């Protein structure tokens, strides 16, 4: 059974992310934890009793809204494999998610995102990026607003082969591909023309891990930026999901370093699966 954490703030974005999660995992036995967070900033100018009453009211409101939402989801749910539970916490989103990961074995965090909106500060301050950078050892799947849910028939997996691959690291991607009978297009996005010996070894390791999957290798020319190259590749191949391992050598890290224009251009129209990097001592091949 898979356990999925979906942050819910009752916006269309978060509801759309939940719908995508249900579609993506429609053939899996799942418990979906619907997490609502609220933050109370006590005022030093007010009494402790007043601050406590405000926090209690926020807690009551969160619980009430979550239970109403849960009742609606249960009424509409026609998949006997899916179960839903609600969680509400007074915390920041990242800290609340970390607490859940420490309490329950969560397989995926799936959340909605509005994407970049025109400035460096907005992009770097978005909840999705905060969660991706703040949450370790759990895959994060971000779903763009207004994305129409469908099973991924083609997954674009980005790599430059500069580091080895581990089974524990790639298992979430493999599980999704198997469950949805997806083809994986392995996008080699790099400035260099040829792989060096180390990269060739890593490529062979990946072949072994993907041996039971439908996959192909693709070389992509980078004309402007790696982020644009991946976006264009996903569009040209009619991909339904972009996946990558979050490590210092890949495009997501470069996304943080590129110009604002490039960041806005990568306002991905597709769901993005970020796989956490595992160290050698944590993972198995």
Phi-psi region of 104 (alpha: psi -120 to 50; beta: other; left: phi over 0): beta
Closest CA to 259 of 114, 127, 123: 123
The HSE-up count of residue 139 (CA atoms within 13 Å, CB side) is 25
pTM: 0.85
The DSSP string of 126-149 is: SHHHHHHHH--SS-EEEEETTPPP
pLDDT range class, residue 285, cuts 50, 70, 90: low
Tokens of 250: 């890949």
| Helix, strand, coil percentages for the chain (3-state, nearest 5) | 40, 25, 35
CA 209 to the chain's CA centroid: 21
Q: Residue 102 pLDDT more than 60?
A: yes
Which pLDDT score is estimated for 51?
56
List beta partners, residue 274: 140, 244
Q: Comparing C-alpha atoms, which of 233, 249, 258, 264 is closest to residue 114?
A: 264
Half-sphere exposure of 7 (CA within 13 A, CB side): 27
CB 99 within 8 A of CB 88: no
CA distance 120 to 86: 34
| Residues shown for the chain | 285
User: Residue 252's pLDDT is what?
Assistant: 55
- Tell me what percent of the residues of the chain surpass a pLDDT of 90: 51
Instruction: Give the list of residues 6+ apart from residue 211 with CB closer than 8 angstroms, or none.
Output: none
Q: What is the pLDDT of residue 144?
A: 87
Q: What percent of the chain has pLDDT over 70?
A: 80
Instruction: Please report where in the chains the tokens 């306002």 appear, as a residue.
Output: 267
Q: Which contiguous run of DSSP H or E holds residue 34?
A: strand 30-38
The stretch 135-148 carries a mean pLDDT of 89
**222/211 Cα distance (integer angstroms):** 28
Mean pLDDT of 49-67: 75
**Higher pLDDT, residue 229 or 188:** 188
Grouping H, G, I as helix, E, B as strand and the rest as coil, residue 136 is: coil
């Amino acid at each position: 059974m898979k356990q999925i954490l979906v942050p819910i703030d009752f916006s269309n974005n978060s509801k759309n992310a939940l719908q995508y999660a249900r579609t993506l995992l429609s053939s899996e036995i799942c418990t979906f934890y619907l997490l609502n967070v609220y933050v109370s900033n006590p005022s030093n100018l007010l009494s402790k009793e007043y601050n406590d009453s405000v926090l209690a009211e926020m807690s009551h409101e969160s619980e009430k809204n979550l239970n109403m939402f849960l009742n609606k989801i249960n009424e509409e749910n026609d998949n006997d494999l899916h179960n839903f539970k609600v969680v509400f916490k007074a915390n920041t989103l990242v800290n609340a998610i970390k607490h859940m990961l420490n309490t329950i074995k969560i397989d995926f965090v799936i959340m909605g995102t509005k994407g970049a909106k025109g400035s460096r500060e907005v992009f770097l301050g978005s909840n999705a990026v905060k969660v991706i950078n703040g949450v370790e050892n759990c895959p994060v799947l971000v779903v763009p607003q207004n994305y129409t849910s469908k099973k991924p028939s083609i997954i674009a997996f980005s790599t430059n082969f500069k580091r080895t691959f581990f089974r524990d690291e790639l298992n979430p991607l493999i599980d999704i591909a198997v469950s949805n009978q997806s083809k994986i297009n392995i996008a080699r996005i790099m400035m260099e023309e040829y792989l060096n010996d180390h990269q060739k070894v890593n490529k062979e390791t990946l072949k072994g891990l993907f041996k039971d999957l439908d996959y192909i290798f693709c070389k992509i020319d980078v004309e402007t930026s790696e982020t644009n190259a991946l976006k264009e590749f996903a569009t040209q191949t009619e991909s339904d999901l972009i996946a990558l391992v979050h490590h210092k050598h890949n495009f997501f890290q470069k996304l943080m370093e590129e110009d604002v224009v490039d960041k806005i251009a990568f306002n991905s129209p597709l769901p993005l699966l970020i796989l956490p990097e595992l160290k050698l001592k944590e993972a198995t091949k």
